[in-house]
Amino acid sequence: MKCPQCRTPMQSRRENYRWDASGLSNVVLIDVEVRRCPACGEHTVVIPRIEELHRTLAMAVISRPGRLAPQEIRFLRKWLGWSGQDFARHFGVTPTTVSRWESLEDPSPMGGTAERLLRLAVAHGQPAEQYPVSRLAEIDDSQDASPRLIAFKSSRGGWEQAAA
């Protein structure tokens, strides 16, 4: 394979590679193929099954017992496929609050409850059919907390919610 910059043949070898393309600065990939140009220093890294890597990385981030760092919060949001606006709507906060959560220069810590909710949303993985995470955005905090009548009926498929 030739260097995309200067067309010199690149040299391939396996190495431990600091992978910051994830937006996280603390990720090392062990023994991956890296192609380096001996002339100009250009390099490319070969990452197999990158979606699986992203998922594994997301699970590692939410499993860490310490508070989430701003760059981790941003990584998890992007992994969920949410824009900053989506994140704000799902969590019932303003977009400004989201950017402060993710800000390296002027961070404002995410509350413990919101952090747990983000971890759960990620652990949920691909949005579940029964309760897509997007439902969170439909919650109306201004409505009162008194429970309404909910009805269920049994059918061949099992219990289903029905009109009351």
Q: Which is nearer to Zn ion, 34 or 117 (CB)?
A: 34
Q: Give residues with Cβ within 8 angstroms of 130, minimum separation 6.
A: none
Q: Does 5 bind Zn ion (CB under 5 A)?
A: yes
- Which residue, 117, 111, 112, is CA-closest to 136? 117
Q: Which is nearer to Zn ion, 39 or 50 (CB)?
A: 39
Q: Which of residues 30-89 bind Zn ion (CB under 5 A)?
A: 37, 39-40, 42
CA distance 43 to 87: 35
Closest distance between Zn ion and the C-beta of residue 15, in Å? 18
Q: Which of residues 6-35 bind Zn ion (CB under 5 A)?
A: 6, 8
Burial of 84 (0-12, 13-18, 19+ CB in 10 A): middle
User: In the complex, which residues of this chain contact Zn ion (CB under 5 A)?
Assistant: 3, 5-6, 8, 37, 39-40, 42
